[in-house]
Amino acid sequence: MSMIGYGGFGTVYKVQNKYDNKIYAIKIQATINSYRAGAKYHPIAIEEAKNLLLVQSEYVVQYYDSWLEGNCTYIQMELCSQSLRNIMEIKPQVFNRQIGHPMDCVEYFISCEIFRQILESVQYLHEFNPQIIHRGIKPDNILITENVTNGRFIKLCDFGLATYHDKRVHFRTERKHDQDVGDMKYIAPEVVKGEKYSIKADVYCLSLIGGELFEVDLDEINLDEYDPIND
């Protein structure tokens, strides 16, 4: 067993199953002191396991099992080789390019394909009825699978903050979504302020990720017309 990632919501290990000899990712999270406001005292790890079971698809990491052991929740998932964060860090070196210099056509089209698959994965969540807001979209939670099927290699992970969105309910003042949920670098302004928000909170995250992927100066992105509520 070797650690391959860690964060505020748990540690991820690469593990070989002694029964089938296959390699999996195991996420371990302590259940004590891991409660999210408004979640009726359900540990985030249990919320994530429930959400992963719901969204079984080629667009998200494959979920296999989860269990409680001592004070920890264990989630067994598909092992993915890299995250988008890793890819963005090594991409300039792979293409022998200085950061800030223009991409050649090959790197540009590969970047377009990566971003297209990210958009498809998020769209998959937003087309549920009721819709699902991921609320944790960031390069670290966008993974590259080792088992490519149908040409797809991008998968979303970390559904501990995911929530349903029903316009008939969550746009009412007394039933707004939780405030200040997500990574502060990618969190949408309306989420920080505790205002009403929708799936566009995820779209805001995607705009920032696209800027990073294509190395756009984020100060040049005009968000003056950004409307978090209206379609």
For residues 16 and 20, what is the distance between their CA atoms, to the nearest angstrom?
Answer: 8
15-50 b/e (C-beta count within 10 Å ≥ 16 → b): beeeeeeeebbbbbbebeebebeeeeeebbbbbbbe
Dist. CA 118–CA 26, nearest whole Å:
23
Residue 48 CB contacts under 8 Å (≥ 6 apart), including other chains: 9, 27, 75, 158, 159, 160, 162
Using CA atoms, how far residue 140 sits from 19, 84, 122, 134, in Å, is 30, 6, 15, 13
- d(C-alpha 39, C-alpha 61), whole Å: 23
Residue 188: what residue type? A
Q: Is 27 annotated as a binding residue?
A: yes
Query: Residues annotated as binding site for ATP?
Result: 27
Query: Residues annotated as binding site?
Result: 27
